[in-house]
Amino acid sequence: MVLKITDGKEILNLKDKFCISLELEVNKIDNSNEWIAIGNHLYYFVCPNTNHPKPPDTLKVDDKYFLILKNIIQTKNFI
């Protein structure tokens, strides 16, 4: 399974085995609503439950979040 992360211009294909690792990195950034939503999408993409069904296979984020996520994915080799 692959989660597509996009800003509407670029797409990052994140293998599901890296979703939790990226979610843990996202948790360190900030606890604003946007980061929480991104972290939840990453987590429940691989660990859905009855209260949180599996989200779509595409996560659309604003440019600034996309650049940060892209940097983390490249730096941590989540490829």
Q: Which value, to the nearest 10 degrees, does the dihedral of the CA atoms of residues 1, 72, 77, 43 take?
A: -30
pLDDT in tens, 26-52: 999 998 999 999 999 999 999 999 999
Task: Give the start-to-end residue ranges of the domains of the chain.
Answer: 2-75
pLDDT at 19 over 90: yes
pTM of this prediction exceeds 0.85: yes
Residue 3, CB half-sphere, CA atoms under 13 Å: how many? 28
> Percent of the chain having pLDDT more than 70?
100
